[in-house]
Structure 1
Amino acid sequence: MKIISKFILYSVLLCFTFSCKSEIIQKEKQPNILFIAVDDLKTELGIYGNSVIQTPNLDKLASVGTAFANHYVQIPTCGASRQSLLTGLRPRTVVQLDNNITAIETSNKPEGETPESFIHHLKRNGYYTVGIGKISHSADGLVYGYNDMPSNKRELPHSWDEILFDSGKWKTGWNSFFAYADGENRQSMKNQVKPYEAGNVEDDGYPDGLTTKMALSSLKRLKEKDKPFFLGVGYFKPHLPFNSPKKYWDLYNRDSIKISKNPNIPKNINLKSLHASGEFNRYALGDEIATLKHRVSDEYAKKLIHGYYACVSYVDEQIGLLIKEVEALGLEENTVIVVWGDHGWHLGDQQVWGKHTIFEEALNSTLVIKVPGLKSSGKTNKTVVETVDIYPTLLELCGIEAPYNLDGRSLVGLMDNSKPRQKDVAYSYFKNGISLRTERYRLTKYFRQGEPTIELYDYLNDPFETINIASENAETVNKLMPLLEAGNTGLYN
């Protein structure tokens, strides 16, 4: 009886230690974390209702976890979005919208009292941290230019116990990021390449396959550690170029692929709200040029979407291999798995190919979280949430206090239904603008010359953002504007 009493007392103490207000089964040990960052992964997955794309592993993960359908990034560009993830903060200055913001703000700093990232904070609190691939902006975590050889300077100098990458035949991280199956890359070919490729290679014939091999090996090593681990794995695809092994292209019949439900420029907007697909057009051997003056053909649009889908299926397979290894190693019962897309991507939506707008397609991205012992799993959650919510979520799951006031709020209460949210909003920033997303509306304010500077979209009546209705809905704009202004963190003051 004394043994039983001590066990009960210990369990109660554990509940308080881990802020045990939810239905999550807490363990004696802090949970491991497998964090998977996927470049340009929008919500084009089976779990979000796309019946054509083939993502069985992500669908299965969502069936035992929580998929957030209305997850929005702070900034629709890779580096700045990841900086908000890492810090749990919305941007305060215009420079924090820059792709290189992590290198600017973090790489040259000595270790201080404030952690440089949530990974750094986990490390300080007993976690062994390993990063593989693109977690911050850099393809391999080191600071250097696209055409340069790697430096020894880390983007996150204090976050990682180990930072690993296998660049294979491409020799550098940035070459690997823009890799083609023959060992060339966009830089080496001086942009004289197509924006897609179906390579006659196995999975490790492209860099993401090599990343998976390294991650599988790391999981085996990490199991033997006497402390919990954080393993960050960053996949490149489906970022341009849409290159993947041919077998993933062969999963699709192109006739079944549909073009965007809104391939035209929205009515009542200024073209400054969009862009001319410059990143996409850098691939000089593309079949057609995308512009805001005319759409690409439906045939070419389907080919490009086919390529994007093939890349997503390729990464889905890599994620499946990681999950299977977690299970095979007996780590499943104490490992939190997070899959996060760093932003969305216009697949011809609003006549744009790329990210870099504050429209829905560029901001809405994948977020799936699987927590061991969660009873209310397997449902798609439609609450509006933000990337900055991930930092406090992981801290709550690990029983660690936040090091400073974070902009986000933990998602644990949403995942176990213990704390439903009311009137949630998400803030995003880019193109001299702030965008506010509520359950029904998107209100965007641009700080620029060129009218209109206010845009309002009603997703109940116009789910694909075809028309800006701000001018005829002044009452709704006036009601939402104070909420939008509350998200102006000083960026445009």
Structure 2
Amino acid sequence: MILCLATAPATAGEKPNVLFIAVDDLRPELGCFAAPVVKTPNIDRLAKSGMVFNRAYCQQAVCSPSRSSLLTGARPDTTRVWDLSTHFRKAMPDVVTLPQFFKVNGYVTQSIGKIFHHGIDDTASWSVPSTFPKAPHGAERAPVDPSAEAGASKRGPAFRATAGDDNSLHDGELADMAVAALPLLKKSPSRFFLAVGFIRPHLPFISPQKYWDLYDPQAIPLAPNPFPSHGAPSYAIVPGGELRSYGGVPVGRQLPDDYARQLKHGYLAAVSYVDAQIGRVIDALEREGLRENTIIVLWGDHGWKLGEHGAWAKHSNVENDTRVPLLICAPGMASNGKRSDALVELVDVYPTLADLAGLPLPNHLEGTSLKPLLEGRQIEWKSAAFSQYPRKVGKQNLMGYSMRTDRYRLTRWVNRDDHTKVASVELYDHSKDPLENENIAEDPTSEEILTTLTAQWTAGWRGAAPKAVLPPKTR
């Protein structure tokens, strides 16, 4: 997520606009997060004028639950969205979503592309109907690969370079639409909340050839841990998933190095492609003279494994899947050009935007405004971030509830209807094992810290919330 605020806090009569940019399947594989090899000059340029949050986490590492959580400001067990088909209004019929909140506060709200998950749009959130590129997601896939492995769908390959221009593909057309919308919104007598949802780097990894040419394939590093975590339950990470629905994917959990490198090359090229489209939208905002009074939010809905733990997908509670890119650019604030190791969550986005816009926070929110961190305050910040993922294991319906603290990740797999029934426990010490390769929950030396962390896990996100906000530091 990237968030940029006006050069000075908006007065009651001068509320900021909001440019809200979502990116699908974008892990912190960005230059501003010190990721090797990847080239993301536009996002990096934005990062230089803001605060980079090194440790931001989604609430469930799959599209609809994550987006529903962020856009309602409520966690998955409140939205009751744990899959790709359930609409959050089934459990929360009267909830005021983030864009709807701005709408009822006098903003024109408009959605272009994927903001809510496919098929989960919410008409109450928008002042005008949502619009999408003419080519739907995936329409630019290659023709069917006749050599597709048995059982694979009739899709083409998982990655491909194209000869066309940027706007010949979905995200380039999407950027065109956003660029065209800005001058029209500028003429509106009301402030605007413009949401722009990019698809790449979601599978298939398709982008113009020039973005592939940015990379030397032999310089692309492969995952150092292409194996399951030792001691973790078999259901902690389930290999396969969407990747296996594309043609030509080699059989077996661990892909051959040459194919894995091509796959990662495609992901990196797609990241650079979407970075260029984001740059076009930001440039258009500046050309229209709107940048100085527009909050810009850029966020990824969850992470993605690029061969780590022998998997190529999201759908788990591991660090690779739950950690997301988060950068907040707030010109004129103390956070400019700095980095933060504060534990923050995507559920914090809703209260942050409301707070920065000078609007009263709704009572239903389950996150915390990041505004104090942007202001450079000394603050007793939240002590943990929380994610979760469901699994059907035999006849058991399990939920893995994961807690990330400063040093540890604790995941407890419990019965979804009775949390006292524990199926398994995972514990990883990031000071010694940042890749989460060794589950130490059964190690006798972990007994004391496991007891402490279990009590903290039981207290949940409410127990981890900040207890006090102190005045800003004097400099």
For the aligned residue pairs, the C-alpha RMSD in angstroms reads 2.5
Among the aligned pairs, what percent are the same residue?
39
Structure 1, 28-37 or 365-374: larger mean CA deviation:
365-374
1:104 to 1:405, Cα distance in 2 relative to 1, 3 A: closer
Report the alpha carbon displacement of residue 137 of structure 1 after superposing the two structures with TM: 0.4
- CA displacement 1:326-368 (0-9 Å, x = unmatched): 1111111101111100000011111111000000011001122
Contact 1:414–1:421 (8 Å) recurs in 2? no
Unaligned runs of 5+ in 1: 1-21, 144-153, 171-175
Taking the aligned partners of 2:129 and 2:352, their CA distance within structure 1 comes to 24
* Aligned match for 1:347, one of 293, 306, 309: 306
- CA displacement 1:173-203 (0-9 Å, x = unmatched): xxx2123266999xxx953311111111111
1:339 corresponds to which letter in structure 2? L
In structure 2, the partner of 1:396 is 355
Structure 1, 197-206 or 157-166: larger mean CA deviation:
157-166
> For residues 159-174 of structure 1, what are the structure 2 equivalents within 5 Å?
159-168=125-134, 170=135
Matched residues, number: 437
1:353 to 1:290, Cα distance in 2 relative to 1, 3 A: farther
Taking the aligned partners of 2:351 and 2:132, their CA distance within structure 1 comes to 31
In structure 2, the partner of 1:414 is 373
* Aligned match for 1:244, one of 207, 220, 223: 207
Report the alpha carbon displacement of residue 411 of structure 1 after superposing the two structures with TM: 0.6
* Aligned match for 2:23, one of 32, 38, 47: 38
Report the alpha carbon displacement of residue 278 of structure 1 after superposing the two structures with TM: 1.8
Report the alpha carbon displacement of residue 205 of structure 1 after superposing the two structures with TM: 1.3
In structure 2, the partner of 1:19 is none
Unaligned runs of 5+ in 2: 1-5, 146-151, 391-398, 463-475
| Alignment TM-score, normalising by the size of structure 2 | 0.87
SS at match of 1:222: helix
In structure 2, the partner of 1:202 is 165
Report the alpha carbon displacement of residue 424 of structure 1 after superposing the two structures with TM: 2.2
* Aligned match for 1:66, one of 43, 51, 55: 51
In structure 2, the partner of 1:120 is 100
Residue 143 of structure 2 is aligned to residue 180 of structure 1: no
SS at match of 1:311: helix
Residue 410 of structure 2 is aligned to residue 447 of structure 1: no
- CA displacement 1:384-423 (0-9 Å, x = unmatched): 1011110100000111112223111011111221243435
* Aligned match for 1:226, one of 174, 178, 189: 189
1:463 to 1:424, Cα distance in 2 relative to 1, 3 A: same
Report the alpha carbon displacement of residue 302 of structure 1 after superposing the two structures with TM: 1.1
1:180 corresponds to which letter in structure 2? E
- CA displacement 1:248-297 (0-9 Å, x = unmatched): 111100111001122211111111111022211011322x1352xxx111
SS at match of 1:454: strand
* Aligned match for 1:360, one of 312, 319, 329: 319
2:410 corresponds to which letter in structure 1? L
Structure 1, 321-330 or 369-378: larger mean CA deviation:
369-378
> For residues 33-432 of structure 1, what are the structure 2 equivalents within 5 Å?
33-92=18-77, 95-102=80-87, 105=90, 112=94, 114-115=95-96, 117-138=97-118, 143=119, 155-168=121-134, 170=135, 176-180=136-140, 190-286=153-249, 288-291=250-253, 295-431=254-390, 432=399
| Alignment TM-score, normalising by the size of structure 1 | 0.84
1:434 corresponds to which letter in structure 2? Y
In structure 2, the partner of 1:486 is 459
1:184 to 1:389, Cα distance in 2 relative to 1, 3 A: farther
- CA displacement 1:58-81 (0-9 Å, x = unmatched): 001111122211100001110010
Contact 2:141–2:155 (8 Å) recurs in 1? no
Contact 1:276–1:290 (8 Å) recurs in 2? no
Report the alpha carbon displacement of residue 104 of structure 1 after superposing the two structures with TM: 5.8
Contact 2:61–2:322 (8 Å) recurs in 1? yes
Contact 1:23–1:416 (8 Å) recurs in 2? no
Contact 1:181–1:201 (8 Å) recurs in 2? no
- CA displacement 1:109-139 (0-9 Å, x = unmatched): 5xx4x41x1110110001110100000002x
Taking the aligned partners of 2:79 and 2:108, their CA distance within structure 1 comes to 34
* Aligned match for 1:434, one of 373, 390, 401: 401
In structure 2, the partner of 1:4 is none
Taking the aligned partners of 1:94 and 1:282, their CA distance within structure 2 comes to 29
1:184 to 1:130, Cα distance in 2 relative to 1, 3 A: farther
